[in-house]
Structure 1
């Protein structure tokens, strides 16, 4: 799949940078006694459970624990926290895409490690995923295979979800008495309503990608094997917009559903105010573009000087054909002007 994305990206002139793709054996991850005493890690001593990649302004975090269907252990959760914080601080990074390597998105907390270290250890390691919204910048989940338990909640935490039709989603932790750990109940209810959310939360019933789309969870439902590619395509469509106004509107929407009258709501209001200065500059530039004829008549393509490819224009150009019945034609048999 990654090779296909590389071809897609190279075809459309997006720079590609791999940030972390090294794998280390568990024996290499052991600290030397003197290093452990100092509390310092060398890069080569850290076992990587995620792969971070960049495609221009798009960053992907790929969970790579395929033997356990990309379950989340303590190390993986802490690596994700570092990667998300780095994305937040990167001015060049605009959209974050979560993906699972192999055939699944994420199967939730690692149950074996939960048995060893306890639920609270994993919950504490996942504290960065509790933020609402997960990031101020746009986030997308490329959902395939299993997205269950906390993996389902991770997908719900993202702003948009591209879901394969054969994906399996749901609150599978119900079987083992594990509650929603990442505000899954609140997020699910805000997305699909109380009645449907209770059905999934209380029964633990698993649903397909098709049903998830019918319930309104998917920004797009797609064929098996295409979630990551479609997510990159969707992310690229977001990168082209001025980002300050986009983030302000996103935060306003999230506040209305997830953070009413809360400390996080106040934090987001402060962020929106800080974004307003940049948004005003974007507005000035937008007005000038409109006056020059860019973006008129509802066009969402050719908003920048960067030429778009045919595959981008496929979903951008829409034609409406109006057919008139015989009773709507003029007496001379011609359509009225």
Structure 2
């Protein structure tokens, strides 16, 4: 069963396979992020985390573009796509417990690229481009771009992109490790949804803890990281899902997860 919710600027589609697809739907504006988009996307992400029937989110843009960044016309009238505690687009500073995949066609620029970097996995078409042109406008990529990009690709490559404002192609992004899956043009969403379904087969508690440990340990040494993850691993190992995983393996059947 598929359910689709269409608001003014965001199309949200939930499917029985546990995948929630969120499509920024402002193609005439190159999917520039307005305040309304940020509010609607924040609500969709909250739905993803709260609904036990949903396992993975996919974020994409309509009309062959992911997002050109901030809606400058809205900004000129006093509107901002920044939400308190959640950042640009309701995403860049948010904590999303469930896996989130970016499906990128065309351009992901400025805040749009920062939203991509806020996702866990990037699937991109070979015609996609990522960039931070902020320095050309007297600004910097202040919603995570400056410090997240050097963690995803080699430092000097990232710094060159940040200082020149020049884009990184998806083909180069795949070679650099930024892009997990590279597809033909118009294939990013299908590939992202296929990957999402594969992830959704796994235990929800284990997926959430994997994200939490990743988020909390990136700046820790090994000893600190082991200490940090220990409570969560203990809780997970005594969960019903962990027991179900072992029993299903022994019985040679697919596990039935309950998220507890």
Whether TM exceeds 0.5 here: the answer is yes
Structure 1 unaligned residues grouped into runs of 5+: 1-14, 23-47, 262-268, 295-302, 306-337
For the aligned residues, what is the CA RMSD? 2.7
Structure of greater relative contact order (alpha carbons < 8 Å, 6+ residues apart): 2
Aligned to 1:245: 206
Of 26, 32, 49 in structure 1, the residue corresponding to residue 9 of structure 2 is 49
Of 180, 189, 207 in structure 1, the residue corresponding to residue 150 of structure 2 is 189
Aligned to 1:178: 139
Q: Which has the higher strand share?
A: 2
User: Retained in 2: the 8 A contact 1:50–1:61?
Assistant: yes
Q: Per-residue CA shift, 1:266-316, capped at 9, x if unaligned?
A: xxx69x73993586322222222232345xxxxxxxx458xxxxxxxxxxx
Of 43, 61, 83 in structure 1, the residue corresponding to residue 44 of structure 2 is 83
Instruction: Work out the CA distance in 1 between the residues paired with 2:142 and 2:36.
Output: 17
Q: Per-residue CA shift, 1:54-76, capped at 9, x if unaligned?
A: 11211011101111110001111
Aligned to 1:73: 34
Larger radius of gyration: 1
Of 78, 85, 94 in structure 1, the residue corresponding to residue 55 of structure 2 is 94
User: Retained in 2: the 8 A contact 1:244–1:275?
Assistant: no
User: Retained in 1: the 8 A contact 2:10–2:40?
Assistant: yes
SS in 1 for 2:77: helix
Shift, 1:173, TM fit: 2.1
Q: TM-score, with normalisation over the residues of structure 2? A: 0.86
User: Retained in 2: the 8 A contact 1:59–1:87?
Assistant: yes
Task: Check 1:279–1:253 CA distance in 2 against 1; reply closer, same or farther (3 A cut).
Answer: farther
User: Retained in 2: the 8 A contact 1:148–1:170?
Assistant: yes
Residue 221 (structure 1) aligned with residue 182 (structure 2)? yes
Aligned to 2:2: 16
Q: TM-score, with normalisation over the residues of structure 1? A: 0.67
Of 124, 127, 134 in structure 2, the residue corresponding to residue 166 of structure 1 is 127
Residue 207 (structure 1) aligned with residue 168 (structure 2)? yes
Structure 2 unaligned residues grouped into runs of 5+: 222-227
Residue 287 (structure 1) aligned with residue 243 (structure 2)? no
Aligned to 1:131: 93
Of 106, 112, 122 in structure 1, the residue corresponding to residue 81 of structure 2 is 122
Instruction: Work out the CA distance in 2 between the residues paired with 1:185 and 1:86.
Output: 29
SS in 1 for 2:23: strand
SS in 2 for 1:108: coil
Task: Check 1:275–1:168 CA distance in 2 against 1; reply closer, same or farther (3 A cut).
Answer: farther
Q: Per-residue CA shift, 1:209-261, capped at 9, x if unaligned?
A: 1011111111100100010000110000011111111221222122222x659
